[in-house]
Amino acid sequence: MKDERLTERSVDMKDIKIAARGVQVYYGDTHAIKDVDVEIQDKTVTAFIGPSGCGKSTFLRCLNRMNDTIDSARVEGDIRLDGEDIYDPRVDPVQLRARVGMVFQKPNPFPKSIYDNVAYGPKIHGMARNKADLDDIVERALRRAALWDEAKDRLQAPGTGLSGGQQQRLCIARAVATEPEVLLMDEPCSALDPIATDQVENLIHELRQNYSVVIVTHSMQQAARVSQKTAFFHLGHLVEYGETGQIFTNPRDTRTESYITGRIG
């Protein structure tokens, strides 16, 4: 599977990882996402920006079917991961989520040790044959999340005892430990201080080498810093989607312009 992708990449560096077409999301009678089309490229950081309540999180949660857990939520339309419909009845969302990982807005480590937090995903997916394997995976994930140096001496300490920034990096380590192909991040820095934010942003740069990253962010500076593609949502519509540079310097839609110049939001 990996080899396949490698050969594909050599043909087209920017092939499409996720393609969404005509996506509608309803919460009961509320129409939260209105007819959104978007193509998310592989090995790219895509930022979703827009005012609060415009549906960024809702749309993000469609991409790994986390909305299935909300009883009132109803998703229509067509979302494809590598060309396969993720809402096909034959798809097991559990299997999908192993390939499309997620980091949440509020750091939510399990009330277990740092080690167990990171090892949990690989364990349930049977990714390690023995303890040494698992140790390896945990170390690699923690290194990638830039948490190894701080955590290596206290792997058995509770993850909930870390600082907010460390907790979020632990959650990122937990997400990357299962080797997902796409990583969804919903405002991962909103609870973090500038230093921790900087670390997470560096991390996102790292992750782009291997994954496709979709990040919801409130901060336009952050979107500009980390992403190559930006999607601007407004009242449930995808208003504009394009190269980040173009969106920020030369928006085509007046709503986008108003938002990035601070007039709406």
Give contact residues for ligand ADP (rule: CB under 6 A): 27, 30, 32, 50, 52-58, 70, 72
Q: Nearer to ligand ADP by C-beta: 72 or 156?
A: 72
Count other Cβ atoms within 10 Å, centred on residue 154: 14
- Kindly report the length of the chain: 265
57 in contact with Mg ion (CB under 5 A): yes
Of the candidate residues 51, 77, 158, 242, the single one contacting other proteins (CB under 8 A) = 158
175 in contact with other proteins (CB under 8 A): yes
**Residue 94 interface partner, choices other proteins, ligand ADP, Mg ion, none, CB cut-off 5-8 Å depending on type:** other proteins
DSSP codes joined into one string, 178-198: T--SEEEEESTTTTS-HHHHH
58 in contact with Mg ion (CB under 5 A): no
Q: Nearer to other proteins by C-beta: 65 or 255?
A: 65
Of the candidate residues 26, 27, 87, 120, the single one contacting other proteins (CB under 8 A) = 120
Contact yes or no for 159/190 (Cβ under 8 A)? no
Q: Residue 256: what are its φ and ψ, rounded to 5°?
A: -60, -45
* Helix and strand counts by DSSP (H, E) for the chain: 11, 10
Sole window of 53-61, 139-147, 203-211, 233-241 interacting with Mg ion (rule: CB under 5 A): 53-61
102 in contact with other proteins (CB under 8 A): yes
For residues 98 and 113, give the distance between their C-alpha atoms in angstroms, rounded to a whole number.
Answer: 21
Of the candidate residues 3, 71, 88, 153, the single one contacting other proteins (CB under 8 A) = 71
The CA-atom distances, in angstroms, between 162 and each of 111, 142, 201 are 11, 14, 19
**Residue 52 interface partner, choices ligand ADP, other proteins, Mg ion, none, CB cut-off 5-8 Å depending on type:** ligand ADP
Checking 247-256 for CB contacts under 8 A at 24+ apart, the result is 248/220, 248/223, 248/224, 256/232
Q: Which residues bind other proteins (CB under 8 A)?
A: 64, 66, 69, 71, 94-95, 97-98, 101-104, 106, 108-111, 120-121, 124-125, 158, 160-161, 171, 174-175, 177-178
